[in-house]
Structure formats: structure tokens, C-alpha cells
Structure 1
Amino acid sequence: MSQWVAWVAGVVACAFLPALPGPWGMGLAASVAAAVVVGCRGRPWLRQAAVCALVLLLGLGYAALRAQWRLEQSLPPAWWQKPVELVATVRGLPDPGEYGVRLTLEVEKTLTPGVALPERVQLHDYQRRDWTPGSRWQLSARFKPRRGSANAFGFDAERWLWSEGLLASGSAGKPRQRLPDRNDLMAWVDRWRGAQVARIERALGAGRESALVAALTVGAQQRIAREDWQLFAATGLTHIVSVSGLHITMLAALVAWMGTRLVRRVPGLRAPRVATAMLALSAAALYSLLAGFTVPTQRTLFMLATGSACLLWRRQLSPFQAWWLALTLVLLLDPFAALTPGLWLSFGLVAALMLSSLARRQPPVGWRAAASGQW
């Protein structure tokens, strides 16, 4: 488990460094650690420390390499505030805000010579036009530097854009031409989500109730007013409104509970626990997809997949071993998740719940366990 801890420490260290480490210094440090591993066979403690140092450097180098790849996709400063023609697909659900519509686009092609846009960009349409989810457009846009206000207690826009992979943001121009829609899986899911939001608004009307129901069902938080978000934050209910780990885990647990009772009725089933785990994981994956497959839902799905993999491999892990393994895999798939508060809140809450019952001969059960967990 010490190697997992070292890997996580390396990835997290890269996320908070003021600059990316140089390749020469990283290579020299890794060579020294590898030499210590090879040469200190008679000293187990020194060899173990060198192995952890080598794994930490590997995690640091991996995160730095991923960050360097992402930096290379950024729009050069020479093209800031200049019109750029592109062909792109609307991903997710557009956000009709107070000053315009905010939307995420997946760039298919850049038509302006000499410009290479990143794969995903964020645009604001101050003309409040309709952008159908999954639709393709040829349009013009002007991009601006990726930065936000320097306020230690406010929202860090630059960090959020980086963690979401939105390496360019700007405003959509007036001319646009609609092209044939995309027909891939995510485009179909986005159109289905948009249709459900419209159906909810037809049934309940455009207001607070329909915005809340849409957020709880398909993860469409775009229509919740700022005053309501402030109310949720003041009462500690923000995590309930957002479709993330709590909702997906509850659905997976419900499907696992139902699957346990179903597989018992199947004669000759050799691995009922594996079948139940696969049913729960499939339900979590489907719900994550219908909720937009956002970054929080992806992390939750990765954590549940870790537990399912342990069942498939028939490996018995302690709770904290499973915790560290899940965190290691999440940072392996998305090292920039270390910049988001949601990662540390979710993993920190699970760690706190495990620590609350650590070293107890008889942990509380039933309503006592629920009450102690809330405390």
C-alpha cells in the first residue's frame, strides 16, 4: 500500500507546483532512486524507501507529462481576441445564464489557416440563440486568455477550466451555419437529456420546481437560479442537487440489493456476488451516461469499478487498501482531478466514515451506525 500512497503523493505534488518539473532533474532523481533499489538489497527499510521514492517520481513525471500535453493544446496568445472559424459539436446541455448562453463545444475542424484549437472549448453566446444538444455548427468565435479573478476566497475559473479540459474560452460570433447533427452515443444522450428537460418544463412550467426536478433526474443544473444555489450552499444541500457520487452510489446499492435477491433464485449460478456486482456497476455506468458523464460521475464510476474488479479477481482488500487503490486509479485516469474540491470531499468523507469505526470490537449497527455516520 505504501507504493499507492507514493503514487498519489507524486500526482498531487505536480498539481500544486508553481511550474512543471524539468525532465533532466526528474531523470536524475529517478536514476538515483533506482540505483538505491538495486544496490541496497541487504537493507530492507532503505530499499522500501527507495522504491517509494521511485514510485513518487513516476507519479510526478506522469502528471507532468499529461500536463505538458494539455499545455501544448492551448491556443497561442497571438490568436487571442481574433476571429477563428471552426466546425464543432455542442456537447452537454447549454446553460442559459443571465448574460447569455454558455455552452461547451467539441472542435471537429479549424477552418482558419494557422490555428490549432484544443479539442474542447467553452463559448458564451450573448445573443441568447438556441443551441440544440448534439448539433453541429460552422461558426466564428473570439477567444480570450484563460484566467480568472485573483481572489483567494472566490471561484478559481482558471483552475476549473483546466481541470475540465476546457483549454480555450471566448464568445460566439454572429454568423453561424447549422450542419448535419452528430449521431454518436454522446450526441444521442445529450439530445435525450435535452428532451427530458423540455418535457419537465412543459409539465411543471418554467420555474424553480422544474429546474430542481431536472437537476435531480438528468443532472441538468443549468436552470437553477443563483439565489437557490446560495440557499443550498447555506443549508449544506448542494451535493444532493448535483448528480454525482451520492446518487450514483445509491442507485448502484439499490440495484445490488435487488440483484442479490434475484440471483438467489437462479439455479446453478456459481458466482452470485460477481453477478450482483456487475449488475450494480452496469446500472451506475448507465446512470452516469444519462447524467452527462461529467467528471464527478466518472470518478464515482471508477471507484465502483475498483470494488467490482476486486470481486472479479477474488482479492480481499482492507477498507483502506481499497480506498487507496481507488484514489490511485482515479488519479491515473485523470491526474487533474487533484485540483477539484469534489475529489477530496468525496474521498475524505469515506475516510472519515471508516475512521469512525476503526479499532472497535463491536462497531455500531442499525440506527446507531447511521446516527454515528451523520455525526
Structure 2
Amino acid sequence: MEKWLFGMALGISSSLFWPDLPASQWGWSILLAGGVAIVRYRFPGAILFGLGWAILFFNHEVFWLKEQRIPFPAQHELNVMVSSAHQKSDHLQLLVSVQSINGKSYWPEPRIKLTLSGKKTDLNRGDRLRIRARLKIPHGLGNPVGFNAERWLLGQGITATGNISSFKLVYQAEHNWRDRWLMQSGQLMQGFRQPELLMALIYGEQQDVDKADWQTLRDTGLIHLIAISGMHIGLIAWIGMALSRLLLQRWSDHFPYIHWLSGMGFALLYSALADFSAPTVRSLCMLVIWIALRFWQREWSGIRIWLSALAIMLVINPWVVFSAGFWLSFIAVGILGIAGFLWRKPSLWQIQWLMTLLLLPVQLLLFDGLSISSVLINLPAGPWFTFSIVPVALVSGLLVPVFPSLAHLGFWLCDIQLDWLMLALEWIQSWCPGWVAISHHQQLLVLWGLITVLIWWCSPVIIKKKPGLLSLAGCGLLFTGCQSEPDWQVDMLDVGQGLSVLISRDDRALLFDTGDAYPGGYNMADAVIFPMLEYRGIRYLDYLVVSHRDKDHAANWKRILAKYPQTRIISSSALTADTLICQRGQQWWWGKLQLTILSPRSSSGGDINEDSCVLRINDGQHSVLLTGDVERKAEAELVRLPKSVLQSQILSSPHHGSKSSSTPDFIAAAAPEHVVHSAGYQNRWHHPHPAVLSRYSQSQQWITAADGMVSFEFSQNNSVIRPFRRLQPWYRQMEAWLVDDQPLK
């Protein structure tokens, strides 16, 4: 049975890596083949069965996007029911289930995340709305590091996002029991120091937790203690069984399973309070299996229960394969099982070390870094949460509607402890930052090193059965360590509607423009630039070129300068007292790279597009031309330069591909082989303009909104182009499916 369950889970999980989503016809064929094969060949047949099921499921779920031609038309008429509503500083975020789109209904109802900008609006779960909205597929920034919006949205089953232009309230629902429970809990926590963390710990309401607190918890390796886990469900079930034994003991002779059912009832109640989040459902599923085995008087191994819960959740809702929390939850439980297998009664120290070691690949994959202090901090913090904070918090949460005064006391005790914890973590971080960002090359070394260590650890068994594995792992580690790096590279970052270009050589870099920043605090420095500098292993940012003062080019220069205070700023505007003002003719060497300023002749202050610094980078064989937002007038002056000065192999299109730039004369003079248009997805200016795309017909063109970050790697006699999205799985390339009007094959 274990092979069958593992094969099913493996087949569905493979969807994380598919380059394309095969058509439904392939799904039916593979499902049928798996059903036939499973009779004789359980494991391969189960893999095929899971693969076919996943193909059919995902095709069915995204079919409506194709039929409604998202994102066309520009506005869609929707009838929706609100699933959740969260008020932010300047907008309202809604998660809705769509009952009809442009008059057509679908089953199951699509889940869409919508944004309503402007004044505060009071909408609640269960409200029915008729809205007009512009929709788009799940789409985020396409960079190798930073937040993976597509995976996060799909992990929640959200198949589109959008902005509401108008709405009408059709039906106003009353607050349901969960909303009233949470509102009463919030009132009892008024005046507390850590109410947001308490709500996250008890009910899984994480949206209001301060970003700085999340960062602190992540950096110290304690974020898993705040998230709802199997410990919560197990503790609640134990409380239910204990109360049953106390109050219903006289009935146990007539109903021998009444205590188990009571524990199950409490677990269901708490799962509903936690809104049936993925880790909660996982734990609930394992509890149901365990109680069912007690009813049937059967004994299953821990691995069979674990695989059963995994397979059931993947079959019921394959979208969870994209949820990081789902995998972290299951892997953590699996590691606990491994610890029990290795040591029978493992100590907390052994569990913590094993958890840190085996979660390391997942941590690198999701966060591109490691918490070096997590082991030492978790040793005291783990028991503190397990035996003090979590039990009191959960019991207090259950007492809210029954004994509110007692619940308030419990919340107060937990709030004091959480506040002490956060103060202690901040103090620890002030002395020793717990988080270490790791470059891409270092990540590969760490992963190969981990594989080698694990094989060596198990060497008595491995060498006897598979002697070549240790040699293979050692060769992989040696190959990664000796792998040559390019002489220099250019990363045209995907920063939405804006521009930021990273030029790096060894551990040094030059940054051209900084992308945008937004009122809510979201900015491209934290979201893209800093993670990319760490990903490339950059230690020194030698130059920061700010082409001009437009917000989508210059919004983050202060933030970058604060982190890299030794950086030399070059700009058409006097941003600091020692800013080098761009002026045609300036030229200097940066290692083996020649940097030349081609425009402006003289800056008028950096407030207009024509003031943009134009920078040419050349190594004698390869050249890159970065143009900012120059328009026709500046282009006309550039065309007068000698052809050898302006002509470049790679060009960032002026003004994001606006039709007011990229004149035919300029294009002919620059004669680029590759043109990168840095523009936001579905931006309101329609950059790059179709007329501009046709003007560059002799060049290979890339658009960051569709292709993501475009990297150019240069060696002595070689250059390599890496468009990020074209190397990614199907769920990060859905734009090509929509634009090309081709089926997901």
C-alpha cells in the first residue's frame, strides 16, 4: 500500500516541474494507462494515475481563463460571494468565489483575489456583490529570487486576480459564528502589545502581523512556532478527550468510542476556527485516519498514516502542491518520524539538529538563505511554546464565548510571554544577525555537500548496496566547486513598470536605476534588488547610476545607499553632495569594462526624461547600452555620435518601449542584436507599444513582463542569454499561453 500511496503523491507532485501543462486528452489517456497498469505494477501505475489526475484537474481549473479570454475584454461583469475581506491602509483585499462571469457559471466556482482601492468599505464574508473588474492571470515578478506570487496564489487555489472598478452590494450577510468569535477575541486583546501574533498563533490570522516581526521570526528560525501545526490539533484533541473522560465517563461503557469522538469534535471545531488552513487539514486528516484505525482495531505504521494523509490531500485538492506551508508541514512531521526511527526516544537536541539538517534544502529553495541561530534559539523556545504559550493560548481561544474573563486572563499571560520573546529576539539580532543570505553558487555547494554528508552518514548501508552513490555525490560537489563563472553579466531585472539593471563581475556590481516604491511600503529594493545582489554573491556595490528623478527609476536610491554607503552615485540630478552629474564624454574603467556616458550633454536637473543618463558598457567584444527614459530629442543627439560609439549588442529600450522614443534613426544607429523592454504586466501605458515592437523587427526582443528577468552572461569568446520565465515550469509561463492563443500542451 505504501508504494501505491507514494506513487500517487509523486505523480501529482511532479506538476511542480512540468515545462507545459498537457491537454486534457493526455490526462485521460495517462489516467486510463495508470488504472490498467496498477493491477500488476503498483508503483508505476500509481505514478501514472496521479499524473493523469493532476493533468485533468489543472486543465479543468484554468479552462475558464481561456474561455473568458482573460485579460480581454478589459472589463468583466462578475457575480461573486465574498470569502474573506481584509482592510489595508489604502485598499480592501477580497477573496471571492465567482458565481458567474459575463453571465456564465463554472463548477467549481473560480476563486479570485480582488483589490478595491480608495476609501474604507465594510464588506464581510458571505456578502454577494455584482462587480466590474479587470482580471489577470496569477502573475508576479519574474526573478530567480524574491516572492513567487504565482506559486503563492495557486497554492490557495486562486486562478485570477483583479482590480474592481465598480461594485453593487446585492446581499449583505450577517457575521457568521467564526467572525463573531474572532471579533470577540480581538476585543479581549485590546491594549495588548502583541495581539497580531496572538491571533496568528491561535486562529491562523496572519495578515495583520507586522512585516518586521515576520522578518525577525524568519531570521531566528522560529516562524514555524507561530504557524498552526499538528501540535495545535493534537493538543485540542487531547483536551477534548480529557474533558470527555471527566464529564462523560458513565457513558463510555455504552459508547466505548465516545472519548475519541469528543476529541475529534474539538479538533473539527478548532479547524473551523483556523479556517481549515492547509496544515490544519493535514493534521486533521492524520487524526481521522488514526481514530478510524482505533475503531477498526487495526495497526498501521507511521509512514503509512503519513503517506495516506499526503495522498488524500493531494487527490482532493492538487493545488496544495504549490503551497510552501503544506510541504513544510508534511516534511516536518516526516522528520519527526525519522528521528523516532533513528533514536527510538530522541532528545530535543537530536530532533532540532535533524530538523535543521533535513529542512535545509527546503529553506534554501524557498528563502535563499539560512538561519544560523535557529538551532540554539529553538532549544529553549521550542519547549517554551510547547508547554507554556501554545496550551494557554489554545485553551483561552476555546473559552472566548463561554468564559470571556478567563480567556482574557489567558490571552494576557500569552501576550506578556510573546512580548518577552520578541524583545529577546531583537536583542539577539542586534548582537548577532541570525540570517545569512546565500548566493546561487553557494547554494549548490551546500546542497551537494549535504547529499554527500547524508550518504556518508548512511555509508555502511549505502556502500554495500549502491557503492556508486557516494562517488557520484562527491563528483557533483567537486564539479560545482570548480564550475567557472562568466567574466561579467547583465541582469535586466523584472521590477514591474520601471527599470533596474544589475551589472556584476566577481563580487562587485554596478546598478543602473532602482525601480519603483509604493505607498504601502512595498518597494523594488527589498523585493528584487537586495535579494538579487545576495543571489549573485555581491559584496561591493561600486556604482549606483540613477538616470533621472522619475519615481519608477529613482524611488529607492536612499534605501540602497543606506545599505551600501560606500557606493558612488552617478545621476543627472544632485541627489547627494558628492553625486557625479552625468555629462557626455565622461569615461572610466571598471576592471576590464569601459564605462562611457553618452547623454545628456548637460543636465537641467534630472526632472525630465531627456535628462536621463545614457550609459554604454563595453569589454572590447560585447557592449550594452542603457538609456533610461530618453525620447526623440535626446535620441537625435545620440544619432550624431560616431557609429562605433553608439552601436551596441544589447539595448534597454528607451522609456520602456514608449512610442515617443525608439525612433527609426536611433534604432538604425544603435543596431542592437537584443532589445529588452522593461515594462509592467498589463501596464496602463501599454508599454512596449506595438509600433515600437515593429520598429525593432531586426532585433531579438524580450519583455520583462512576459519573459521575466533577462540575463546576459559574457565570457572571453562567448555569450549566453537566459530569459527567466522560459526556463520555468508551466505555471510561471501562462502569459505565453494567453497571448499566443495556444492550448496548454
Cα contact 1:105–1:122 (8 A) shared by 2: yes
Q: CA–CA distance in 2 between the matches of 1:116 and 1:32? A: 29
Matched, 1:139 2:124: no
Q: Runs of 5+ in structure 2 lacking a partner?
A: 354-745
Q: State the secondary structure of the residue aligned to 2:65.
A: coil
The aligned residue for residue 318 of structure 2 is 335
Equivalent residue for 1:41? Answer: none
Provide closer, same or farther for how the CA distance between residues 99 and 267 of structure 1 changes in structure 2, counting only shifts above 3 A.
Answer: closer
1:199 counterpart = 2:155: no
8 Å CA contact retained: 1:96, 1:223? no
Q: Is the 8 A contact 1:189 1:289 kept in 2?
A: no
Equivalent position amino acid for 2:329 in 1: S
- Code of the residue aligned with 1:247 in structure 2: it is H
* Structure 1 residues 131 and 198: alpha-carbon distance in aligned structure 2, compared to 1, 3 A threshold: farther
Q: What do residues 10-41 of structure 1 show as CA deviations (whole Å, max 9, x unaligned)?
A: 11123421223456666666777777777xxx
Secondary structure at the counterpart of residue 167 of structure 1: strand
| Aligned position for 1:278 | 261
Q: Write the distance in 1 (CA, Å) between the matches of 2:42 and 2:75.
A: 51
Which whole-Å CA distance do the structure 2 matches of 1:77 and 1:369 have between them? 57
Structure 1 residue 3 corresponds to structure 2 residue 4: yes
- Larger Rg, first or second structure (1 or 2): 2
Work out the CA distance in 1 between the residues paired with 2:69 and 2:188. 43
Inter-CA distance 83–250: structure 2 relative to 1 (3 Å threshold): same
Tell me the distance in 1 between the aligned counterparts of 2:281 and 2:35. Answer: 34
1:309 aligns with 2:292: yes
Distance 1:196-1:132 versus aligned 2 partners, 3 A rule: farther
Residues 1:237 and 2:229 are matched in the alignment: no
Q: CA deviation at 1:336?
A: 2.0
Q: Distance in 1 between matches of 2:332 and 2:159?
A: 31
Aligned-partner Cα distance in 1 for 2:130–2:333: 46
Assess, with a 3 A threshold, how the Cα gap between structure 1 residues 145 and 67 changes in structure 2: closer, same or farther.
closer
Distance 1:310 1:220, change over 3 A: same
Give a deviation string over 1:73-115, Cα, whole Å, max 9, x none.
33634544722233322212x23335522121122344x4579
Residue in structure 1 matched with residue 145 of structure 2 by the alignment: 153
Distance 1:131 1:246, change over 3 A: farther
1:66 is aligned to 2:57: yes
Of Structure 1 and Structure 2, the greater strand share is in 2
Pairing of 1:95-244 with structure 2 (within 5 A): 95-110=86-101, 112-113=102-103, 119-134=110-125, 135-173=127-165, 175-182=166-173, 188-189=176-177, 191-193=179-181, 195-196=183-184, 199-200=187-188, 203-204=190-191, 209-244=194-229
CA RMSD of aligned residues (A): 3.1
Residue-by-residue CA offset, 1:43-64 (whole Å, 9 max, x unaligned): xxxx4xx232112111111111
Residues 58, 286 of structure 1: alpha-carbon distance in 2 compared, 3 angstrom cutoff: same
C-alpha distance in 1 between matches for 2:258 and 2:139: 47
Q: Counterpart amino acid of 1:195?
A: M
d(CA) in 2 for partners of 1:246, 1:73? 39
**Is the 2:31–2:53 Cα contact (8 Å) retained in structure 1?**
no
8 Å contact 1:106–1:119 — kept in the other structure?
Answer: yes
SS of the residue 1:130 aligns to: coil
8 Å CA contact 1:215–1:241 kept in 2: the answer is yes
Distance in 2, matches of 1:91 and 1:293, equals 13
Structure 1's 295 and 130: CA in aligned 2 closer, same or farther, altered over 3 A?
farther
Give the 3-state SS of the residue equivalent to 2:176 in structure 1. helix
More deviation, 252-261/21-30: 21-30
Counterpart CA distance in 1 for 2:199 and 2:36 is 57
What amino acid is the match of 1:147?
H
- Tell me if the contact between 1:107 and 1:120 (Cα under 8 Å) persists in the aligned partners: yes
CA distance in 1, matches of 2:99, 2:208: 28
Distance change >3 Å, CA 353–CA 295, structure 1 → 2 = closer
Aligned residues of 1:86 and 1:108 also touching (Cα < 8 A): yes
| Pairwise CA distance, 1:215 | 2.4
Task: Say which SS state the counterpart of residue 299 (structure 1) adopts.
Answer: helix
Could you say if the C-alpha distance between residues 158 and 80 of structure 1 is closer, same or farther in structure 2, counting changes exceeding 3 Å? farther
Counterpart-to-counterpart distance in 2, 1:33 and 1:248: 35
**Match in the other structure for 2:382:** none
Question: Which residue of the partner structure matches residue 238 of structure 2?
Answer: 253
* Residues 196/57 of structure 1: CA separation in 2 closer, same or farther (3 Å cut): same
Deviation at 1:151, TM superposition (A): 2.4
Q: Check the 8 A contact 2:91/2:119 in 1, yes or no.
A: yes
**Other-structure match for 1:42:** none
Q: Distance in 2 between matches of 1:350 and 1:80?
A: 44
- After superposition, the C-alpha distances for 1:292-332 in whole angstroms (9 at most, x for unaligned) are 22333223222222222222222210111111111111112
338-347 or 53-62: bigger deviation: 338-347
Name the aligned partner's letter for residue 187 of structure 2. R
SS at match of 1:336: helix
Q: CA deviation at 1:359?
A: 5.8
What is the distance in 1 between the residues matched to 2:185 and 2:81? 20
1:178 Cα deviation from its structure 2 partner: 2.4
Read off the aligned partner of 1:341 and give its amino acid letter.
Answer: A
| 1:222-269 Cα distance to aligned partner (Å, 9 max, x none) | 221211211121122323333344423332233334445555554624
CA shift in 2, pair 1:67/1:259, >3 Å:
same
Q: The residue matched to 1:292 in structure 2 has which SS? A: coil
Highest RCO, 1 vs 2 (Cα 8 Å, sep ≥ 6): 1
**Does the 8 Å CA contact 1:145/1:168 hold for their aligned counterparts?**
yes
- Whether the 8 Å CA contact 1:288–1:297 is kept in 2: the answer is yes
Equivalent residues of 1:34, 1:51 under 8 A apart: no
- Distance, in Å, in 2 between the alignment partners of 1:52 and 1:113 is 45
Structure 1: stretches of 5+ with no match in the other structure: 39-46
On the 8 A contact 1:80/1:145 being kept in 2, the answer is no
Q: Which amino acid aligns with 1:328?
A: A
**Aligned pair count?**
349
Q: 1:339 to 1:176 in 2, by over 3 A?
A: closer
Letter in 2 for 1:236: G
Under a length normalisation based on structure 1, what TM-score does the superposition of the two structures give? 0.81
Note if contact 2:240-2:265 (Cα within 8 Å) is conserved in structure 1: no
Alpha carbons of structure 1 residues 322 and 143: separation in structure 2 relative to 1, 3 Å: same
TM normalised by structure 2 equals 0.43
- Paired letter, 1:204: G
Secondary structure of 2:139 counterpart: coil
| 2:337 equivalent among 343, 350, 354 | 354
More helix by percentage: 1
Q: Distance in 2 between matches of 1:29 and 1:132?
A: 45
